[in-house]
Amino acid sequence: MMGIFVETPGILTTIQDLGRGGSRSLGLNPSGAMDRNALRLINILLGNDESEAALEFHFPAPTIRFEADAYFALGGAEFDARLDGVPVPNWFCHGASRGQMLHFAKPVLGARAYLAVAGGFDIDPVLGSRSTNLAAGFGGFQGRALQAGDRIGIRGTVNRRQYPKAFVSSSLIPRYSRFPTVRFMAGPEFRLLTAISEQELFTKGFVIAADSNRMGFRLKGARIHLLHPYELPSSPVDLGTVQLLPDGGLIVLMADHQTTGGYPRLGNVLQVDIPLLAQLAAGDGVGFHFVSSNEAEQLLFASEREIDLFRVGRQLAAI
């Protein structure tokens, strides 16, 4: 089966979908795309199941040769994509002919980009997901980041009616920024914060530290303190959990986070705002804005309704 050929691999290019949920009780971390919103939108655009696997990549980005005719879409970070030198913007359907080369000229905005193909990549799911689990070395493409010379097939057939001129409407595209404010809901140990730290958490900005990766983002900034030191017996955590380290620093858990942790959980970044965080790199900044858990849930429902409308629109286009 013909698909894509990896000419150069980029710094960290992996196969990711919406993650391997359902086995956290075995210590199995869910993995999955950092910017799930981008992945879902370009999959829906292409008529794929929204959980279809895509390539997640950083800059320097991979160079990809198409070895079959394909429809594809790019989303997430903007890396000035070129197909045989011709610009191919994010959030649009594009057709590629066999032999054409996709490369990324320069980082413009964001840290993580996604390449999805109509029909999906020919990757066998492991424990219900095609995501790469780098720590345990399974899933995705041979359980590892892509290397030069890798070939990945494309599944399924292509419904040509769906594709010409299709794009993701601009109201759905996240407002990526290098200094976003993300919304935050209180977690189990939030009540243990000092009044000053509670205030500083929402008024001071934080900077993404260099030792940040797919497991978590370390934040530099104001030291945050609890009323009393608190050591927690290891307890479950989630994507977006903001943990307080013993030195007063913060860490936000990202897609490859462990299933449990012993650091106090001050709160969680709202799911609708995790894409904004996922597009940050070391040196970028972030601020937190408090919302209630009820409000967080309402914002999630509103976002899901918009995505539902887009999905229905794409399904109608396919008829």
Q: How far is the CB of 160 from other proteins (least distance, A)?
A: 33
Using CA of residue 152, residue 157, residue 162, residue 163, what is the dihedral sign?
positive
Nearer to other proteins, 118 or 253 (CB): 253
The DSSP bridge partners found for residue 184 are: 269, 290
Shortest Cβ distance from residue 88 to other proteins (Å)?
33
Q: Which of 126, 209, 215, 245 binds other proteins (CB under 8 A)?
A: 126
Asked whether position 99 contacts other proteins by CB under 8 A, the answer is: no
Rounded to whole angstroms, how far apart are CA atoms 35 and 53?
Answer: 13
Number of residues counted as binding other proteins (CB under 8 A)? 46
Q: Is residue 227 a contact point for other proteins (CB under 8 A)?
A: no
Does residue 270 touch other proteins according to CB under 8 A?
yes
The reply to whether 28 sits near other proteins by the rule CB under 8 A is yes
Can you point out the beta strands (E) in 151-306?
A: 151-153, 181-186, 206-208, 216-220, 235-236, 241-244, 250-253, 260-261, 265-269, 285-290
The residue (of 61 and 296) whose beta carbon lies closer to other proteins is: 296
Residue 142 interacting with other proteins (CB under 8 A): no
Q: Does 19 bind other proteins (CB under 8 A)?
A: no
Give whichever of 44 and 73 is closer to other proteins, judged by the CB atom: 44
**What is the b/e burial string over 237-249, where b = at least 16 CB atoms within 10 angstroms of the residue's CB?**
bebbbbbbeeeeb
Query: Segment 233-252, which members bind other proteins (CB under 8 A)?
Result: 233-241
Pick 84 or 304: Cβ nearer other proteins: 304
Q: Which stretch binds other proteins (CB under 8 A): 26-34, 39-47, 78-86, 278-286?
A: 26-34
Q: What whole-number distance in Å separates Cα of residue 93 and Cα of residue 73? A: 5
Considering only residues 22, 89, 248, 313, which one is a binding residue for other proteins as defined by CB under 8 A? 22
For residues 63 and 82, give the distance between their C-alpha atoms in angstroms, rounded to a whole number: 10
Q: Minimum Å distance from CB 31 to other proteins?
A: 10
**Of residues 37-56, which lie at the interface with other proteins (CB under 8 A)?**
none
Name the residue nearer to other proteins (CB basis): 227 or 300: 300
- Under rule CB under 8 A, residue 127 binds other proteins: yes
- Residue 24 three-state SS: helix
| C-alpha distances out from residue 194 to 68, 172, 227, Å | 59, 38, 5
Helix count and strand count (H, E) for the chain: 4, 20
DSSP result, 35-71: SHHHHHHHHHHTTS-TT--EEEE-SSPPEEEESS-EE
- Other beta carbons within 10 angstroms of residue 209's beta carbon come to 16
The nearer residue to other proteins, 27 or 89, going by C-beta atoms, is: 27
In this complex, which beta carbon is closest to other proteins, that of residue 26 or of residue 86? 26
126 DSSP β-pair partners: 129
User: Binding marks (x or -) toward other proteins, 289..318, rule CB under 8 A?
Assistant: ----xx-xx--xx--x--------------
Residue 279 contacts other proteins per CB under 8 A:
no
Phi and psi at 243, nearest 5°, equal -100, 150
**Window of 107-115, 137-145, 150-158, 214-222 that interacts with other proteins by CB under 8 A:** 137-145
40 vs 48: CA distance, rounded Å: 9
CA-to-CA separations, 163 to 129, 300, 302, in angstroms, rounded: 26, 29, 27
Query: Which residues are near other proteins by CB under 8 A?
Result: 21-29, 126-127, 133, 135-139, 185-188, 232-241, 258-261, 265, 268, 270-271, 293-294, 296-297, 300-301, 304
